Amino acid sequence: MFKKILIANRGEIALRIIRTCKEMGIPTVAVYSTADKDSLHIRFADEAVCIGPAPSSESYLKMTNIIAAAEITGADAIHPGYGFLSENAKFSQICRDNGIKFIGATPEQIIAMGDKSNAKATMKKAGVPTIPGSDGLIDNIDEAIKLAKKIGYPVIIKATAGGGGRGMREIWKEEDFERHWEAAKSEAGAAFGNDGLYLEKFIEEPHHIEVQIAGDQYGKVCHLSERDCSIQRRHQKLIEETPSPFIDEEIRHKMGEAAKAAAQIINYEGVGTIEFLVDKHKNFYFMEMNTRIQVEHAITEEVIDRDLIKEQIKIAAGDPITGKDYYPTKHSMECRINAEDPYNNFRPNPGKIETLHKPGGHGVRVDTHIYAGYTIPPNYDSMIAKLIVTAQTRQECILKMERALGEFVIEGVQTTIPLHLQILADENFRKGNFTTAFMNDFKIK
């Protein structure tokens, strides 16, 4: 097992990782920016090293400073959490070159999945369903227009270096093609330094459903069932739940097998997620793979009763997995609470937490780094807490979430709690009748 783990992250996920390390008897090193000098992750860890000023580019993204912190403290592994350097192939490589275990994907795996057109081709080879479209990149616009006609409108152009909703253009009719194509190409070139584009049939109002997987270095893989992440606004997830109200036993099994085939073909080690788009006929298609632990991992933990960070660390240390798939019998739901004003276009609202009361009781879990008197710095993501509730059924889960949101008191900053209460009260949400378009026409009262 590792002698000491450095956590190259901040906020709730840094605390989450430190907690598991403590339970495993592994000493921890926190790193922090000057803006985070009063953060809890510094106090929870055994040691802490300041790695730079407030901007992420000079601290949490500064690879040389993080490696230096690991060397000074004698850490033999780095956990990157999510965001920041968690899917950075160069950082994974630098860790390897310095004899430090990166608790995440190898540089090869990150590169293979980071190029979206290449990832899609790999999945097609593995027999994972993919969205009809171009065979790889297209650089000739006439060829692209011909293909769009053959597939039938609407189509979507995607940047191969994009992902997570960046670098995409829907096209509904041929006369708009050239304009969108040129715009997408120059945007992708400017944003990613890679203007490679590919084309797909546009799936209208899809469900976003992802399957959690785990793999070990002995070639075993298993799936840990799905999460429904369709409730999102501008590619920011708001509420996630497992199991998905849209997915039945048969499709769950088929998606699980497809996700395992996806993990297997790249010899995936560790925990990861295969994202699928699911259309109204319940056809599912590979969309992207996330080679990291995700924000929403906790709802899966609650329904399968496993600590996914612990599994991740054990796999990185060379332990084998059982290879058993998990099918939950409980229901779990997460509301992401952001310091944003839902009445003012979700404007970030950092500042001092004057009063804090966290909800509790059976089946309620709050993963957060905030405390009364804490000042949320303006430099980072605005998520300040994850409220996770678990019950026997979806209906009980919704009632418990409403009860827990009602108990949650955060004074001093505006939060998205009122929005969550209104989504939970929505008739279609309660029926499980929603897609990724749900928030498009949702009006907060």
287 contacts ligand MV4 (rule: CB under 6 A): yes
Minimal distance, residue 125 CB to ligand MV4, in Å: 19
Binding segment (CB under 6 A) for ligand MV4, from list 27-35, 86-94, 194-202, 344-352:
194-202
- What CA–CA distance (Å, rounded) separates 21 from 269? 19
DSSP 203: P
Region 114-143 residues binding ligand MV4, contact defined as CB under 6 A = 131
- What CA–CA distance (Å, rounded) separates 348 from 368? 17
Binding segment (CB under 6 A) for ligand MV4, from list 203-211, 307-315, 335-343, 375-383:
203-211
Minimal distance, residue 164 CB to ligand MV4, in Å: 6
Region 249-278 residues binding ligand MV4, contact defined as CB under 6 A = 277
Catalytic residue status for 292: yes
- CB distance 129 to 284 below 8 Å: yes
Residue among 118, 194, 217, 232 that touches ligand MV4 (CB under 6 A): 232
Measured CA distances, 23 to 3, 307, 394 (Å): 14, 11, 31
Type of residue numbered 192: F
436 contacts ligand MV4 (rule: CB under 6 A): yes
184-209: burial string, b at 16+ Cβ within 10 Å, e else: bbebbeeebeebbbbbbbbbeebbbb
- CB distance 96 to 25 below 8 Å: no
Minimal distance, residue 116 CB to ligand MV4, in Å: 8
- What CA–CA distance (Å, rounded) separates 271 from 210? 13
Q: Which is the catalytic residue, given 16, 292, 336, 365? A: 292
Radius of gyration of the chain (CA): 22
Q: Which is nearer to ligand MV4, 51 or 131 (CB)?
A: 131
Residue among 81, 83, 206, 363 that touches ligand MV4 (CB under 6 A): 206
164 contacts ligand MV4 (rule: CB under 6 A): yes
3-class SS of residue 211:
strand
Residue among 70, 77, 203, 417 that touches ligand MV4 (CB under 6 A): 203
Q: Binding residues for ligand MV4, per CB under 6 A?
A: 131, 156, 163-165, 200-203, 206, 208, 232, 235, 277, 287-288, 436
